[in-house]
């Protein structure tokens, strides 16, 4: 083995202990225990190594979060310095600290000017939990306490806690643990699967009009906000047709419903803009953020508020009975600050927009544009989805598309590349620092995995 580290224990030993004590995310634990999880032990740049010494190109930035890649010494140094100076203090006893102040200054220098305040959390799920209470509080302050209902979308993802999963539209999650009151859903704008004979533009408008119908059915006086990811991430990296967001924004404004963008995946440069709503050209009232805020080095999230909302809450709201022990944690804030500085000062977001993003998409179109298994290539910046299709003419998808995509993902691991599968779509979202050579490798290894899958599907 040629390992860039000394393995501490045998893989089998790690796996046995993991099986004895650990419940993993979104998996049949018994089956995983029998298989034994992969043990990741090191990361450097875009690469990961497992405990067997196998190297992987991480095409998913961990879970869409390691914007700067692994092993950045400036982030480690920022964390260590902050731990030495002030490892913890809270935001409760009329107190603050420099790390969080400087982080907020930098954050709002990167955001469009109509946002002014943020409530920090530890994760994206928490950001969306806080969203519900903050939006409801806002309407209370404005004298409209009956405006409580949040509308989300089927197949949207907003986190795994009770209220966040209720906002999301993963029915299998709702079935495990239940929903909360005052949440409703409309359809997702997934043209390739659901657009039928409509053009993408017609379908986008049709999906947006569902929001209007839902608001009217519930009564605009009862609806607090509409939450959506600018593009769906966990649901399959689905980009809405161009007609979608302008119409959604019109409807929210017309009925005085807050437009809440979940930027947990789309934020911090993924699309080549700082925030995904800028790519799609709309103006949300709130932004839920997490993941790329710290490049995943420490847990941190937040809810960003427009000036209009913040003004109501701050100037007229009195006490808002909300707070978390770790809101604005100094070490997480110091790491977020170092991360955002690096993204800005190294010109990484601009590079994604002008250079590496177009490079990735050119490569993908060259390699997969006429591939017999791929019906559509979606995405922008360092973000892409390959749609599996059985019949390109009719956009008929395979009945076993989930299994095929999972198989493709497994082939990817065998080839040494990590790509994600969701419902017949292969997703890639590499770190924003990816070089041309790394993008070449990502696409090349993905092509091998997709070709192997195409053979199973009888397409090659």
Residues within the interface to ligand PXG (CB under 6 A) = 63, 123-125, 128, 157-159, 229, 233-234, 262, 264-265, 290
Direct distance between the N- and C-terminal alpha carbons of the chain, in angstroms, rounded to an integer: 35
CA distances from 59 to 62, 132, 357 (A): 8, 33, 14
CB closer to ligand PXG out of 124 and 141: 124
Q: Which residue is nearest to ligand PXG (CB)?
A: 124
Q: What secondary structure does DSSP assign to 357-414, as a single string?
A: HHHHHHHHHHHHTT-TTEEEEEE-SS-EEEEE-SBTTTTBPPTTHHHHHHHHHHHHHH
Q: How far is the CB of 161 from ligand PXG (least distance, A)?
A: 7
CB closer to ligand PXG out of 157 and 368: 157
Strands 258-262 and 286-289: parallel
CB closer to ligand PXG out of 115 and 231: 231
CB closer to ligand PXG out of 158 and 445: 158
Q: How far is the CB of 28 from ligand PXG (least distance, A)?
A: 16
Number of neighbours of residue 394 by Cβ within 10 angstroms:
8
CB closer to ligand PXG out of 50 and 126: 126
CB closer to ligand PXG out of 224 and 290: 290
Q: How far apart are CA 402 and CA 158, in angstroms?
A: 22
| 82: CB partners within 8 A, 6+ apart | 99, 330, 331, 333, 334, 335
CB closer to ligand PXG out of 208 and 418: 418
Residue 136 exposure: Cα atoms within 13 Å on the Cβ side: 15
What are the residue ranges of helices labelled H in 272-316? 276-280, 307-311
| 276: CB partners within 8 A, 6+ apart | 229, 230, 231, 261, 263, 265, 266, 267, 270
CB closer to ligand PXG out of 124 and 328: 124
Q: How far is the CB of 229 from ligand PXG (least distance, A)?
A: 5
Q: How far is the CB of 367 from ligand PXG (least distance, A)?
A: 23
> Which residue's entry shows tokens 């082939």?
411
CB closer to ligand PXG out of 124 and 424: 124
SS3 228: strand
Q: How far is the CB of 154 from ligand PXG (least distance, A)?
A: 14
Q: How far is the CB of 53 from ligand PXG (least distance, A)?
A: 26
Tokens, residue 231: 């593009």
What are the residue ranges of helices labelled H in 22-91? 29-35, 61-64, 73-85
Q: How far apart are CA 320 and CA 412, in angstroms?
A: 48
> Which residue's entry shows tokens 């598309």?
401
Number of neighbours of residue 23 by Cβ within 10 angstroms:
7
Q: How far is the CB of 63 from ligand PXG (least distance, A)?
A: 5
Q: How far is the CB of 160 from ligand PXG (least distance, A)?
A: 6
Q: How far is the CB of 333 from ligand PXG (least distance, A)?
A: 17
Tokens, residue 283: 């103006």
CB closer to ligand PXG out of 427 and 454: 427
């Amino acid at each position: 083995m040629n390992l860039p580290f000394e393995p501490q224990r045998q893989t089998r030993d790690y796996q046995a202990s993991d099986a004895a004590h650990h419940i993993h995310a979104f998996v049949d634990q018994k089956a995983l225990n029998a298989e034994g999880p992969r043990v990741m032990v090191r990361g450097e740049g875009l690469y990961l190594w497992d405990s067997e010494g196998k190297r992987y190109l991480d095409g998913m930035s961990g879970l869409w979060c390691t914007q700067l890649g692994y092993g950045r010494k400036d982030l480690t140094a920022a964390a260590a310095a902050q731990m030495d100076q002030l490892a913890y203090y809270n935001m409760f006893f009329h107190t603050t600290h420099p790390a969080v102040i400087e982080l907020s200054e930098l954050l709002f220098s990167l955001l469009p000017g109509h946002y002014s305040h943020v409530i920090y959390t530890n994760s994206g799920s928490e950001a969306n939990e806080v969203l519900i209470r903050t939006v409801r509080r806002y309407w209370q302050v404005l004298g409209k306490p009956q405006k409580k209902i949040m509308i989300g979308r089927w197949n949207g993802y907003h986190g795994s806690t009770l209220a966040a999963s209720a906002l999301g539209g993963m029915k299998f999650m709702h079935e495990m643990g239940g929903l909360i009151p005052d949440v409703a859903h409309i359809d997702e704008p997934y043209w390739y699967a659901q657009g039928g004979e409509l053009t993408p533009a017609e379908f986008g408008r049709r999906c947006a009009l569902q929001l209007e119908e839902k608001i009217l059915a519930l009564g605009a006086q009862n609806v607090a906000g509409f939450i959506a990811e600018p593009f769906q991430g966990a649901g399959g990296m689905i980009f809405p047709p161009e007609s979608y967001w302008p119409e959604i924004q019109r409807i929210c404004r017309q009925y005085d419903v807050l437009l809440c963008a979940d930027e947990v995946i789309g934020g911090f440069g993924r699309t080549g803009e700082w925030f995904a709503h800028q790519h799609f050209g709309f103006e949300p009232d709130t932004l839920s953020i997490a993941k790329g805020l710290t490049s995943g080095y420490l847990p941190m999230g937040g809810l960003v508020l427009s000036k209009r909302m913040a003004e109501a809450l701050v100037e007229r709201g009195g006490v808002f009975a909300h707070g978390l022990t770790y809101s604005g944690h100094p070490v997480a804030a110091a790491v977020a600050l170092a991360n955002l500085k690096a993204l800005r000062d190294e010109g990484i977001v601009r590079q994604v927009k002008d250079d590496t993003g177009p490079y990735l998409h050119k490569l993908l179109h060259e390699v997969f544009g006429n591939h017999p298994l791929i019906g559509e290539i979606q995405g922008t910046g360092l973000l892409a989805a390959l749609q599996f299709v059985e019949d390109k003419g009719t956009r008929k998808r395979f009945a076993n598309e989930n299994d095929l995509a999972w198989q493709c993902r497994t082939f990817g691991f065998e080839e040494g590349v990590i790509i994600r599968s969701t419902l017949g779509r292969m997703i890639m979202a590499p770190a924003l620092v990816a070089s041309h050579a790394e993008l070449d490798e990502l696409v090349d290894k993905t092509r091998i995995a997709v070709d192997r899958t195409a053979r199973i599907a009888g397409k090659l």
